[in-house]
Chain A
Amino acid sequence: MSAERKTMTINMGPQHPSTHGVLRVVLELDGEQVVNAQPHIGYLHTGIEKTMENKLYYKVIPCTDRMDYLAPMSNNLGYCLAVEKLMGIEVPEKVKWARVCLAELTRIKSHLVWLGTHSIDLGAMTMLLYTFRERESIVDIYEACGGQRMMTTYIRIGGLSKDLPPDFDKLVRKVLETIPSHLRDYEDMLTNNEIFINRTRGVAVISADDAVNYSLTGPMLRGSGVNYDVRKANPYSGYENFDFDIPLGKNGDAYDRYKIRLAEIRQSLRIIQQAIDGMPEGPYRAHVPGVVLPPKEDVLYKMESMIFHFKIITEGFKAPFGAVYQAIESPKGELGYYISSDGSNKPHRVRVRPPSFVNLAVLPKLVEGALFSDVVCAIGSIDIVLGEVDR
């Protein structure tokens, strides 16, 4: 008896544990095969972009922490670079190197969390505990620098909020020593693991053309073999001084993306090694009176610094009329800030180009015709943070 094909619509999320937050996917299933998948977003929408319009330029920085909460330093860096571009501020050399070092630590931290959660989605339970142990050492560096473990607010317009801590060098070198051996452990557990390979190889495939057409960035794009990285294409914050490679995949499946992220951790370690070896001496803030806060020790003893301190904190600074776009390579892809200024002390409009949001749009394409259990793998391999998707 040939009846017409019946499909079933089911709801995955927003409370499903492997949707990494509050993502809801409406799946149309034919038996166990996915016919259509529709991601529904907005459950974590907090109106951050609108909030930014009502704040002085320097007060926006805590908002940026709260978008991609797994990579706060990258978000701070992107925003601060955009405002510095708007204001035409040149930061000291030490600030650039410190920022690169912190941004790469952030990349490692974000990838470690991704590795843990992605493998727990696929059934490798112990990985999460191991990756969070290594993440802890990086979070400790954050705490020593800015005083907070997740919402650091450490990178500021024109420099850093405080000087690098005295034991920064020691802490970072400890991370550089320990992480490579742990990475070998992860590879022992996953790279040649038959179960992991069966769950990821040939799953959630995206071709290079499709990846470009969907404007994917980050490991999603490089997994398909397209060589594009903002750090190489449009160097910012002194990345042109560093020597590193861009790992590329071939097949564009979840397994390639896993290998790329592991390779990226290794490249980040290389960059951190160079940054920590060649960290120049100098001030931790640019000297731009009226725009960048003077150092606190000056405020307490110098009249002029005190006046600027009061002026900046109470009424901020006026930005010139115009608009800027600044993109950085966040752990998830190209993170861009578009700031439009109307000449007042608050941004007229801040538009964020979040990598997770753009990458999530490819989900229907990834899971078309796949099995139901592969949806979990596909969502995991995109590496989304719902705080950034919904903003």
Chain B
Amino acid sequence: MKEIAKALGDVFIQMPKGLLVTFKHLFKKPVTLDYPRKKKPMTPRYRGLHYLERYDDGSERCVCCGLCAAACPADAIYMEPEENEHGERRAKVYEINLLRCIFCGFCEEACPEEAIFLGHEYEFSNDNRNSFIYTKGQMLVPHPRKDKPFKRIYRRIRKVYGVTDKPK
């Protein structure tokens, strides 16, 4: 008798209880995104594809000190220095092998000139291994830039110090 009561309880109470959870989800808003059309906004600190910053006059910030290459745990960064027409040091060759890169962000932390940053770009798949070696020309931000200087400076502050959420 006790077993029958338990079996009835299972069939009519416990099982429907579980099914009800599934049923309730029919009417809930889906949590998934329609990915290629809609994208999830990345947090300010997100570590994606690298980019090299410029000064406002368009000259490169990177002085090729080699600290990012020294900090890189995967040995993905290669660089060669040269002098520009004003006698300032800059990178002749600056390459990041994205197949080796583990996106740990050590280069960004090491950089004493605030030249290299890990941006929010994460869709850079390709069918060719050679195209994953990103050169300086590919990573330097375009000059003149499209976005306003205030926004850019703000983003940099946000990125480095993680100070605040959104410009008010």
Contact = CB atoms under 8 A, between A and B. Distances in A.
B105 A194 contact: no
A133 B21 CA distance: 15
Contact of A296 (B18, B109, B165): B109
Given A146-B45, A151-B104, A300 B112 contact: yes
B13 to A, nearest CB: 8
Binding site of A, secondary structure by majority: helix, strand, loop or mixed? helix
Interface size class on chain A is 35 or more
Contacts of B112: 299-300, 306, 309-310
Interface stretch (A8-16, A80-88, A184-192): A184-192
Nearest to B118: A147
Given A133-B31, A143-B43, A144-B43, A162 B162 contact: yes
Contact of A153 (B42, B104, B110): B104
Interface in A44-81: 55, 59, 62-63
Interface in A148-195: 148, 151, 153, 161-163, 165-167, 185, 188-190, 192-194
B142 interface: no
A124 to B, nearest CB: 9
B105 A190 contact: no
B43 A147 contact: yes
B155 interface: no
B150 interface: no
A143 B160 CA distance: 15
A313 interface: yes
A213 interface: no
B155 to A, nearest CB: 14
Contacts of A313: 67, 70-71, 110
A239 B106 CA distance: 30
A38 interface: no
B45 A193 contact: no
Contact of A185 (B14, B21, B109, B110): B21
Interface of A: 55, 59, 62-63, 126, 130, 133, 136, 140, 143-148, 151, 153, 161-163, 165-167, 185, 188-190, 192-194, 293, 296-297, 299-300, 306, 309-310, 313-314
18 contacts: A126-B22, A143-B42, A144-B45, A147-B43, A147-B118, A151-B103, A151-B104, A161-B105, A161-B109, A166-B165, A188-B18, A189-B18, A189-B22, A194-B14, A296-B109, A296-B160, A297-B160, A309-B112
The 8 nearest A-B residue pairs measured at CB: A147-B45, A189-B18, A147-B47, A59-B73, A192-B14, A194-B10, A144-B43, A62-B104
